[in-house]
Amino acid sequence: MWDFETDPDYQELLDWADEFVREEVEPLDLIWPHLQFTPLTETRREVVDPLKNRVRQKGLWATHLGPDLGGQGYGQLKLALLNEILGRSQWAPIIFGCQAPDTGNAEIIAHYGTPEQKHRYLRPLLEGELFSSYSMTEPQGGSDPTQFTTSAVRDGDDWVINGWKYFSSNANTASFLIVMVVTNPDVSPYQGMSMFLLPTDTPGVNIMRNVGLYGEREGEGSHALIHYDNVRVPDSALLGGEGQAFVIAQTRLGGGRIHHAMRTIGLAQKAIDMMCERALSRETAGSRLADKQAVQEYIADSYAQLKQFRLMVLHTAWEIDKYNDYKKVRKDIAAVKVVMPTVLHDIAWRAMQVHGALGVTNEMPFLGMVTGAAVMGLADGPTEVHKTTVAKQVLRGYRASDDIWPSEWLPRKRDAARERFAEYLDLEAGNS
Ligand SMILES: Cc1cc2nc3c(=O)[nH]c(=O)nc-3n(C[C@H](O)[C@H](O)[C@H](O)COP(=O)(O)OP(=O)(O)OC[C@H]3O[C@@H](n4cnc5c(N)ncnc54)[C@H](O)[C@@H]3O)c2cc1C
């Protein structure tokens, strides 16, 4: 069966979500920009909680999670369709209980956590009452986790963590951290690293700086440089068992990457919407921008680029639902991750250009999108590394040629074809 239809009942919910996000949620981006990961004040709670409740009443809260965890068990494909809508707004994922990095973090606690860890961290996380941070990258290198040196050493019934972590997003507002550390330096890093769950206020967790992205003012950053200085945690803080960090990281990052891609569709579509409106609204040199061939090319290229990307994301989401195993879908998740920054960059850039000077001002969101595209090329691993993953996985389907000539070398194939059909060739020659 091969079907591109959304079931009508779910489409009705999506239509509701689309209007709800545009009318009720997008305004929050303007009054409380960048505050979505900050614990709610009483005033903000008065606005935010009722919005979350409306989402819950519609059955759209954390839809990707199973009913045992408070979601609907809709899976990744339906989440993709919803996330396309949520991607328009910074606040929308929070209002719908499916924001990064918390979704990925929730997923691994749900998968690998003990009942006590689920009770302590997962439940409140899923209820949207607290935030989490994933602390993996180190200052000396993020792309290659085998270079990580932050370690945990056993001391009686405890572990003692020491080292530095960089770019731990939202650590400044998170209630707990998931930290990846070396627990056995004598074996391969793939077996010698583990993950720990610990409250952010554990003694020795020192946030040294909150690094900001370009355009954010000093002090507004949310990507922490953390010094873990003799941080003591009990054995029960281990997530998924000793030596399991790489296995867990694959689950964590697979989900996170595809969710970013889903939201990116929404953001890129927003840029196309703005580009088209401007093209129809503005006249210069005797005609509308929409009538200029170059602008038509921008629109057509953007439409085609986004359509390709969207199909790729939806298909990958469908594969995740089908196999229920991120490892099996690794190639396609990595391919999506590779394409994502270019799609967002190209579309945002064209939309910005069509807006002229206004496009590059802080009165329009385009430069934020372009920076966002650059971020997409790094967060959860740089594009180059994902290209390597795609290439390695693709190459697994091939083998080397048996001799010096490629298997599709025409002289040899021609000889073989001639030999096979010699009888007919002889007949043809005799008839002519
Ligand atoms: C907005 C944002 C949020 C983030 N949030 C988190 C978070 O919450 N938790 C966390 O742990 N980390 C987080 N990160 C860190 C992110 O995972 C790392 O930035 C990423 O893995 C790259 O590591 P690096 O920055 O150390 O770059 P490096 O590893 O130094 O790589 C730099 C460049 O070298 C090239 N390169 C690297 N490796 C290869 C290779 N194998 N082949 C070819 N070229 C290569 C690429 O061009 C790459 O961009 C975040 C990053 C950003 C930008």
Closest residue by Cα to atom 7, ligand 1, is: 168
Burial class of residue 128 in the structure, from the number of CB atoms within 10 Å of its CB (0-12 exposed, 13-18 middle, 19+ buried): buried
Distance 341 CA to ligand 1 centre (A): 14
The secondary structure of 263-275 as a DSSP string is HHHHHHHHHHHHH
Distance 287 CA to ligand 1 centre (A): 46
Find tokens 């009483």 and name the residue.
42
Distance 337 CA to ligand 1 centre (A): 13
Strand pairing of 193-199 and 151-155? unpaired
Find tokens 């919407």 and name the residue.
273
Distance 319 CA to ligand 1 centre (A): 26
Residue 312 CB partners (closer than 8 Å, separation 6+): 332, 335, 336, 339
Query: Which atom number of ligand 1 is nearest to the Cα of residue 138?
Result: 26
Find tokens 């920076």 and name the residue.
371
Find tokens 């599709």 and name the residue.
408
Report pLDDT for 251.
76
The secondary structure of 231-243 as a DSSP string is EEEEGGGEESSTT
The helix/strand/coil state of 342 is helix
Task: Tell me the CATH architecture of domain 8-99.
Answer: Orthogonal Bundle (1.10)
Report pLDDT for 208.
96
The helix/strand/coil state of 369 is helix
- Residues of the chain below pLDDT 70: 432
Strand pairing of 205-211 and 238-239? unpaired
Alpha helices in 360-407 (DSSP H): 366-376, 383-395
| CA gap 48, 71 in Å, rounded | 19
Query: Which atom number of ligand 1 is nearest to the Cα of residue 375?
Result: 53
**Superfamily of domain 132-239, CATH level 4:** Butyryl-CoA Dehydrogenase, subunit A, domain 2 (2.40.110.10)
Residue type, 289: L
Closest residue by Cα to atom 49, ligand 1, is: 382
Alpha helices in 168-227 (DSSP H): 189-192
Residue 257 CB partners (closer than 8 Å, separation 6+): 333, 334, 336, 337, 380, 381
> 225 phi and psi, to 5 degrees?
-95, 120
Which tokens in the block code for residue 402?
Answer: 């048996």
Kindly report, as residue ranges, where domains of CATH 1.20.140.10 are found in the chain. Answer: 246-395
| CA gap 92, 259 in Å, rounded | 13
Distance 58 CA to ligand 1 centre (A): 38
Kindly report, as residue ranges, where domains of CATH 2.40.110.10 are found in the chain. Answer: 132-239
Strand pairing of 283-284 and 151-155? unpaired
Q: Which residue out of 143, 173, 193, 387 has the highest number of ligand 1 atoms within 8 Å of its CB and is therefore the one to mutate?
A: 143
Closest residue by Cα to atom 40, ligand 1, is: 385
Report pLDDT for 250.
82
> 47 phi and psi, to 5 degrees?
-90, -45
Name the nearest CA neighbour of 114 among 195, 223, 186, 13: 195
Report pLDDT for 123.
87
| CA gap 16, 84 in Å, rounded | 13
Distance 55 CA to ligand 1 centre (A): 34
Distance 382 CA to ligand 1 centre (A): 5
Q: Identify any residues that bridge with 225 across adjacent strands, giving them in sequence order.
A: 209
Q: Identify any residues that bridge with 323 across adjacent strands, giving them in sequence order.
A: none
246-395 topology per CATH: Butyryl-CoA Dehydrogenase, subunit A; domain 3 (1.20.140)
| CA gap 96, 139 in Å, rounded | 33
Q: Which residue out of 150, 166, 181, 378 has the highest number of ligand 1 atoms within 8 Å of its CB and is therefore the one to mutate?
A: 378
Distance 142 CA to ligand 1 centre (A): 5
Which tokens in the block code for residue 110?
Answer: 């749900």
> 151 phi and psi, to 5 degrees?
-130, 160
Closest residue by Cα to atom 36, ligand 1, is: 384
Model confidence over 129-138: pLDDT tens digits?
A: 899 999 999 9
Closest residue by Cα to atom 3, ligand 1, is: 379
Kindly report, as residue ranges, where domains of CATH 1.10.540.10 are found in the chain. Answer: 8-99
Query: Which atom number of ligand 1 is nearest to the Cα of residue 165?
Result: 11
Q: Identify any residues that bridge with 152 across adjacent strands, giving them in sequence order.
A: 161
Model confidence over 100-158: pLDDT tens digits?
A: 889 889 888 988 999 999 999 998 998 888 999 999 999 998 999 999 999 999 999 99
Length of the chain: 432
